[in-house]
Amino acid sequence: MSNAVRRTRATLAVAALWTVLLAGVAGCTGEAGSAGSAGGPAAEGDKPRAPGDTIRITPADGATAVPADGRLEVALAGGRLERVKVTRIEDAQPAEVPGAVSPNGLTWRPKPGTRLALAAKYSVDAVALDVHGRRSARHTTFTTVVPDHRFIGYFTPENRSTVGVGMIISFDFNRGIRNRAAVERAIRVTSVPPVEVVGHWFDAERLDFRPREYWKPGTKVTVDMALRDVEGAAGVYGVQRKTVRFTVGRSQVSVVDAREQTMEVRRDGRLLTTLPVTTGGKKTRTYNGRMVVSEMHDVTRMNGATVGFTDDDGKSEYDIKDVPHAMRLTTSGTFLHGNYWADPAVFGARNVSHGCIGLRDEKGGSQDSPAGWFFDRTLVGDVVEVVNSPDRTVDPWNGLSGWNMGWEAWKAGSALR
């Protein structure tokens, strides 16, 4: 036998051996595959998909400037959604978006009518089972559009304050409100004991709330402001979500008789004392009507030029840098305050002020003076009523003077009626 023939036979033998070995390997693979069909590796077409391929979330992960009413959806091509949670996460107390999975288990959508908050960040967490029962999960985030124009309401009284029975809840908005009903509806005033409280618009920037009569002493009042995302005017949205609570203290109503130059101070209906006062002179009378203390200052500056009291040369008729025990009654500048510069003989005898109500005091303010005594017993929200002045009644919009408007007229100023 030649060498060539021997090499050919050897090659064939090796080839045959490899064929047997490969056949054996193939047989083992087939058995493993059969066993795997009950839980082993899947065929190429059944490979598990990445969570992003299995669970499709709209808006996309990291999306910004998402419209508040834009599309929000979690969807599957097959299998079923096990759970979905969409949460506003920028607040101290995260708020979950209400929604439901469809009956076929393939989609989740928010509850009809749901509107997302503006300028807010949301997270989406979804867990799904594919057609083979394998679980996958996905987490994404997105942020909603930040409006170019916003409005806020500057309000009184302060949170956790104790106020007088004449307190009126007042909002001054930094932008004109056109959708008044939507804004008024978003401010809810409740009290214990309960009483009807109604809003009144004086103009596009001013909204006040009060009951029919003065609050009862001891009343607990809650003001819920849900103004965030409320469209106050075209393209102008609110930003406030806040709750304010205050308590009504004892009843104190003081009546100033401009003709007699006296002030009767009544606490819970009982006369505490009668104090001598001076009110507006012949050219600068004091308003008649019910006014409410809105600010209190141990000392303040009063310059006549700020309220239109100037001489022919444009100089202020007065500029007193240290007016003691000053209590504001109107926006236009009416105060009840201590007066140390007038002759003590004018109090209870003559009206010489520029429209304010003056009580005798000492320079620097004395706690023992009539002004100091009254100041120490006054709360923001206390009522001061002026009678028998030759001037007209104060306008309801001037300060917290809404008590000078009848109840039916007050209710007519609500955007909800």
User: Which residues are known to be catalytic?
Assistant: 337, 356
- Collect all residues with Cβ–Cβ distance below 8 Å to 378 and sequence separation of at least 6: 164, 252, 293, 296, 327
- Collect all residues with Cβ–Cβ distance below 8 Å to 339 and sequence separation of at least 6: 278, 323, 347, 353, 358, 359, 360, 361, 371
Q: Which residues of 249-271 are buried (b: 16+ CB within 10 A; e: fewer)?
A: bebbbbbbbbeebebbbeeeeee
Per the structure block, which two tokens stand in for 123? Answer: 């997270």
Query: The tokens 């002030």 sit on which residue?
Result: 263
Instruction: Give dist(CA 413, CA 210) in Å, integer.
Output: 12
CB 269 within 8 A of CB 312: no
CA distances from residue 306 to 279, 331, 358 in whole angstroms, order as listed: 19, 12, 19
- Give the residues across from 246 on adjacent strands: 221
Instruction: Give dist(CA 374, CA 414) in Å, integer.
Output: 36
Query: Residue 238: helix, strand or coil by DSSP?
Result: strand
Asked if residue 193 has a cis previous peptide bond (ω within 30° of 0), the answer is yes
Radius of gyration of the chain (CA): 39
Among residues 172, 135, 178, which one has the least CA distance to residue 156? 172
